Amino acid sequence: MSDEEAQSSHSQPVDPSADKPKPKRRGPVRRKKLSTDGGNPQPRNQKTDTQSLSASVKQDSEKKENKPTTAPKQRRASKPVEKPKPVDDQARNVRDLAALKGKRPIVALTAYDAVMGRMVCDAGVDFILVGDSVGTTLLGHKTTIPVDMIDMVRHTAAVRRAQPNCLLVADLPFGEASFSFDGLLESARRLMQEGGADAVKIEGGRDVADDIEKLVATGIPVLGHIGLLPQTVKAIGGYRKFGSDREEAEDLYTDAIALEEAGCFAVIAEMMEENVAKELARQILPPLIGIGSGAGCDGQILVTTDLLGYNLGKAPSFVKTYANLNQVISKALSQFVSEVRKGEFPS
């Protein structure tokens, strides 16, 4: 998401006292299965025979032997990273996740590579989402629309190589759910077989519910996503809150029920009016995981780079930034450049 788009959409909270959605139906829920010569640099392409190479190595070790024995210069070592204590009630699969509803808040984060996948999992999340947000957070795109299956399979496989012991969900990129069901099935298959995902996420409500039902019947666990659908940003004209009027709130309700009935194991609620998200969480069986949708959801997910302060722009206003990696990284990189330029490194 570009700065402009992100800020314009997330900095204008709408009055949460908007009309509550009137449930259209309630009752029993239809459950679906669910280089060394001391200062004489040689040109790099000069041929060095084995003899001169070993002579130079010998000279070097003699030099070392004649060196006065002063205390070795201390190289500043980085502190060993303290590994967080393992969390024993992390969700390992979709059933564990669904069972957390009503017990404790579910927590999830995005990851796009092996390093972050490992760290996010070790922090104790219940699931990792390899989101198509990789496009805006790491790949330099303005929206998630250019992200394709090659990106998603590559990043999902990278996170899988970190061997996370929590649930790993991969996003279906823009357009994949709009082709034929066979096309959608093939893309979901690739995310699971080539990427190693445990489940897939699809943006959309009742419009994609039938296809989700068929995927679920095929054994593909699906995470729903309603409210703000970043893949539709061109159609909706920017990022904004959803559910501020009665009609939109009722639409969200209809979408949530459609996803529940299609067998989604959980549903993401992005940028939804707080009272609407709270009510939906109360009404549907699968956990409702919020992002910018208030505290009434069954759990929370954030884009990891946003909470770490690692980005080219500003994080959306609802994000709490827990670190400022931009600053830490800039400082370290500038120090390296300065030390090499001044001949201080290598010392």
CB 218, min distance to ligand KIV, A: 23
Per CB under 6 A, does 133 bind ligand KIV? Answer: yes
- Closest residue by beta carbon to ligand KIV: 131
**Binding ligand KIV by CB under 6 A: which of 122, 126, 171, 298?**
171
Q: Count residues contacting ligand KIV (CB under 6 A)?
A: 11
Residue among 195, 87, 86, 104 at smallest CA distance from 149: 195
270 is catalytic: yes
Per CB under 6 A, does 304 bind ligand KIV? Answer: no
Phi/psi for 168 (5° steps) reads: -120, 115
CB 201, min distance to ligand KIV, A: 7
Per CB under 6 A, does 129 bind ligand KIV? Answer: yes
CB within 8 A of 226, min separation 6: which ones? 204, 205, 252, 255, 256, 259, 267, 268, 269, 270, 272
Per CB under 6 A, does 298 bind ligand KIV? Answer: no
Per CB under 6 A, does 303 bind ligand KIV? Answer: yes
Closer by beta carbon to ligand KIV, 131 or else 243: 131
Closer by beta carbon to ligand KIV, 127 or else 253: 127
Closer by beta carbon to ligand KIV, 133 or else 275: 133
The pair of three-digit structure tokens given for residue 342, joined into one six-digit string: 């001044």
The pair of three-digit structure tokens given for residue 244, joined into one six-digit string: 């501020």
Q: CA angle, 247 as apex, 245 and 252 as ends, to 5°?
A: 95
CB 215, min distance to ligand KIV, A: 18
CB 107, min distance to ligand KIV, A: 13
Q: How far is CA 208 from CA 168, 222, 237, in A?
A: 22, 11, 21
Write out the binding residues for ligand KIV, residues 185-214 only, by CB under 6 A: none
Secondary structure E strands in the chain:
106-110, 127-130, 167-171, 199-203, 222-227, 266-270, 288-291, 299-302
Residue type, 83: K
The pair of three-digit structure tokens given for residue 179, joined into one six-digit string: 């082709």
Of 17-25, 130-138, 159-167, 206-214: span binding ligand KIV (CB under 6 A): 130-138
Q: Distance (Å, rounded) from C-alpha 102 to C-alpha 111?
A: 26
Q: Is the peptide bond before 68 cis (omega within 30 degrees of 0)?
A: no
* Contact mark string toward ligand KIV, 319..338, x via CB under 6 A: --------------------
The pair of three-digit structure tokens given for residue 133, joined into one six-digit string: 């947000």
Question: Mind giving me the DSSP string for 240-256?
Answer: --B--SHHHHHHHHHHH
Residue type, 130: V
Report whether 216 contacts 33 (CB < 8 A): yes
Per CB under 6 A, does 5 bind ligand KIV? Answer: no
Per CB under 6 A, does 147 bind ligand KIV? Answer: no
Per CB under 6 A, does 110 bind ligand KIV? Answer: yes
Per CB under 6 A, does 267 bind ligand KIV? Answer: no
The pairing of strands 288-291 and 167-171 is unpaired
CB 129, min distance to ligand KIV, A: 6
Q: Distance (Å, rounded) from C-alpha 246 to C-alpha 343?
A: 66
* Contact mark string toward ligand KIV, 48..67, x via CB under 6 A: --------------------
Set 250, 270, 274, 279: catalytic member: 270
298's enclosing H/E stretch is none
CB 320, min distance to ligand KIV, A: 15
Per CB under 6 A, does 131 bind ligand KIV? Answer: yes
Residue among 271, 276, 307 at smallest CA distance from 9: 271
Phi/psi for 226 (5° steps) reads: -130, 180
Query: How many CB atoms neighbour CB 23 within 10 A?
Result: 14
Of 38-46, 55-63, 74-82, 127-135: span binding ligand KIV (CB under 6 A): 127-135
Per CB under 6 A, does 268 bind ligand KIV? Answer: yes
Catalytic residues: 270
Interface contacts to ligand KIV, rule CB under 6 A: 110, 129, 131-133, 171, 268, 270, 291, 301, 303
